[in-house]
Amino acid sequence: MAAIDPANVRHPLDPDPVPSTKAAAVLALGVVAAITGFFVGGLIPAALALLMARDARREMSAAGGFLTGGRRIRTGVALAWVGIVLAACALVAAAIVGLLHSAGGPGTNFAPDVN
């Protein structure tokens, strides 16, 4: 029988590593932001995801490794930024379409006898 290495034995009072619920929320909000980003509605979940990611990172560092979910946070933040970029592109496209629409066509054709 092999001897148990005391360096690999966990202290009985150490908590079990658990996934962070805020990390899952950041990922979900990031997905919603990326899906609805082009419709400009993605700005709200993206902002919430970025704010919640900051708190989740702070809690994970304070937990000393007993909260997991760093990959979920990184993915959620990346998707939130994708949603913000899509919303910005949609706003720019809407502004261009609005400017082209307000510029009008070639003008009104009047009869030849109108001065």
Closest by CA to 67, choosing from 55, 75, 76, 78, is: 55
- Spatial CB neighbours of 77, under 8 Å, sequence gap ≥ 6: 26, 30, 49, 50, 53
For the chain, give the mean pLDDT.
89
Q: How confident is the model at residue 104, as a pLDDT? A: 74
Is the model's pTM score more than 0.75? yes
pLDDT-flagged residues of the chain (< 50): none
Q: How confident is the model at residue 103, as a pLDDT? A: 83
CA distance 10 to 48: 37
CA distance 19 to 37: 27
